Amino acid sequence: MSIHPTAIVDPAARIGTEVRIGAFSVIGPHVAIGDGCRIHHQVTIDGHTTLGKGCEVFPQALIGLPPQDLKFQGEDTQLEIGDQNIIRELVTIHPGTANGGGITRIGNNNFLLIGVHVAHDCFIGRGCVIANYVQFAGHVHVEDKVNIGGHSAVHHFVTIGKHAFIGGMTRVSADVPPFMVCVAARGTRSEIRMVNGVGLQRSGYSNEDINALKQAFMKMYSRKARASGTAIRDRVQELLETPSLNPHVEYLSRFLMRSFAHGRNGRYLESLRKDPVHRNTWQPGGKHKVAIEVIGGGSVSQGRDISTDPAVQVFELTAMAHDGWRFAGWNGGLSGEANPVQLVVDGDKKVTATFTDS
């Protein structure tokens, strides 16, 4: 072990063998650093953070400091970083929050380049290359062997499938299917452009598997497929019904169907969040506003005005649970479990519909 005399290492920190800690670095009391790690100068590692074996952390990296979340109340949440990760200069990685499961986790053999930000409750798999200044909002899941180009920004609750390639400066606001190349399009949009054939070859996928994925891409995303008038969900379902379907095509198809069935705004993980996620404020033809919030996996539909009294409006609200969820009841401007239910709009109203795992 080699610790520079100007480094501040709390006596309670657990430091493995053959660890090198550079000048002016700070290691907190709840930190565990695995064998063979190199911590360069001016690195801060704090919080309940575990760093696996053989990692290298470059100057100015800030790891394990409290998450940037107004709901965080100082809970003892975790940050777990696996083995053989390279974390370059100015990288920031935050632990989880109680609202998001309490843990941020990064797997093995990842390369995080300068200025990458990994927010609270993110999960990053293994073998990923995250280029300069990529920004992950909270609750993002990145599967294995993903490559993300510099200055890309990933919306919270997005899932990026394994072996995907994200082009530089791409705004990623919806789930990215595995094995695909996603690039910036016009304005703020992004689009699925092609199969990540080069990346799959480098990862040892056979030509047969790559060709099967390319054929699936043509059936899902080609200009001819889009012009067919058949919804992409139906095109994917047709693929799933193919006899002896290639297992990688099946994985791709089921990933997409999960987002279609449960995703809100194209993000599957939105259906699993615990805090209010669906906020819909509308002014139903009068002077009063109605705000609808949904907690859990579901949505609320609003019917037409059924009142016969011109002084008030009455709307029927119907709570619709997603697969695997059940409606638990109304709060706010309504109460109880009646469904559908009538809402009398005689003033501004706020109604919350709660769904729980079935």
Return the active site residues.
120-121, 138
The tokens for 83 are: 């083995």
Q: Helix, strand, or coil here: 149?
A: coil
Whether 303 and 284 have beta carbons less than 8 Å apart is answered as no
Burial group, residue 95, by CB count within 10 angstroms (0-12, 13-18, 19+): buried
**Rounded to whole angstroms, how far apart are CA atoms 30 and 93?**
16
Whether 101 and 269 have beta carbons less than 8 Å apart is answered as no
Alpha carbon of residue 36 to chain centroid: 31
One-letter amino acid identity for 119? A
In the chain the first and final C-alpha atoms are separated, in Å, by 52
Q: Give the H or E element holding residue 247.
A: helix 247-262
One-letter amino acid identity for 16? G
Q: Which neighbouring-strand residues pair with 183?
A: 191
